Structures are given as C-alpha cells and as structure tokens.
Structure 1
C-alpha cells in the first residue's frame, strides 16, 4: 500500500519504492512544470513491478514453457509403470483390496 502500512501493521513491502518515486517527483517537478516526470519512469516502473509482479510472472511463465518444451523434446527414459502407480490406489485397486482382505482373514 502506498500508505506505508502493511497487513501486519508494519511497513509494507512496496513502501520504499513509493518513497523513491515521490522523492523523484519532488526533485524533478514543480507546480508549473511537469516535464520532469519523464525522469521518474524507472522509479514508477519499479513501484508497479513491486505491486503487481508482472515482469516476474512473465519470466516464470517463460521458464515453465521452456521446461515443458525441453520435456517434450527429451522424453523421460524410465516412466513409471502401471504397477508402480497401483501403490497410490489409482490402478488395479480391486486386486489390492482383495489381497488386503485375504490377508486379514
């Protein structure tokens, strides 16, 4: 939050970026001339990134896409067999159930 108070009552995570942005505006603009705002675009961009994480999310999506592409290009050499999946109770559950019931008799 730009108020400076976070959810737990302390300083919010983006408050230092907000202070930097305000300091840039104070130094580079006056009431008569707003042309100095262009100098503050990097600080504004940093503040928006802190708030919304757009660049970080795009980077994560790109890494995930590259990982999926690499997996498709080089498939796994030893995929799990249906017998191994049975341990999770997903396949052939009837046989496991019969084996458990016979053992308990």
Structure 2
C-alpha cells in the first residue's frame, strides 16, 4: 500500500476516500458480513480514485460513440483525393514564381 503522502508532502489524493472507508468499517464492525456490504460503495469510490477504471471505461465509450457519429455523418466540405494528394501546390507555377521573386 502507498505511504499515504502525496507528491508535495501533504495527504495523497485518495486520502479522503480512505478515511471514509475506515470510518464505515469502524461504525459497522460489529455487524459482520452485512457491515462489509454497507461499506462497498465507499470502497468502490476509493478503488476508483486509485485506479480510474470506471472513468477510463466511460472515456472509451464516449470516444467510440464520437467516432461512430463522425462516420455516420461525413464532412460536407471534405477535400477530394486529388486535392489531398496535390495539397493545392501542383499546377501553380506562376504563384510560386511570384512568391519567390518577392523574396
């Protein structure tokens, strides 16, 4: 387990969640297995603070939904393949020579 100290010497970022878990265990210690079940939400919050698994899953789902929406609605002004290949530079010798003449 971690030392409980943060990077700057203060309490770690999950210290408050750990205090909630300990407080729950102290209050519900005499109830046996049902006491542990009462503390599961606090324990899940502590684990989420440590590992960010729920947040990562939510982020992946949002990214997948965004990609799906982007694929369903292509851009209106999307460049054509010829424009992408040439980058708009081929066939513009006059403009290139004018820019080079100024330099």
2:84 maps to: 82
Given the two structures, how large is their TM-score scaled by the length of structure 2? 0.73
- Contact 1:2–1:18 (Cα < 8 Å) also in 2: no
- Structure with more contact order per residue of length (Cα contacts < 8 Å, sep ≥ 6): 2
CA distance in structure 2 between the aligned counterparts of 1:26 and 1:10, rounded to whole angstroms:
24
What 5-or-longer segments of structure 1 have no aligned partner? Answer: none
- Contact 1:25–1:40 (Cα < 8 Å) also in 2: yes
In structure 2, do the counterparts of structure 1 residues 19 and 84 end up closer, same or farther at CA, with 3 Å as the change threshold? Answer: farther
Q: Shift in Å at residue 49 of structure 1?
A: 0.5
CA distance in structure 2 between the aligned counterparts of 1:85 and 1:7, rounded to whole angstroms:
48
In structure 2, do the counterparts of structure 1 residues 74 and 9 end up closer, same or farther at CA, with 3 Å as the change threshold? Answer: same
- Match of 2:39, SS? helix
Given the two structures, how large is their TM-score scaled by the length of structure 1? 0.72
CA distance in structure 2 between the aligned counterparts of 1:103 and 1:77, rounded to whole angstroms:
35
The RMSD of aligned alpha carbons is 3.0
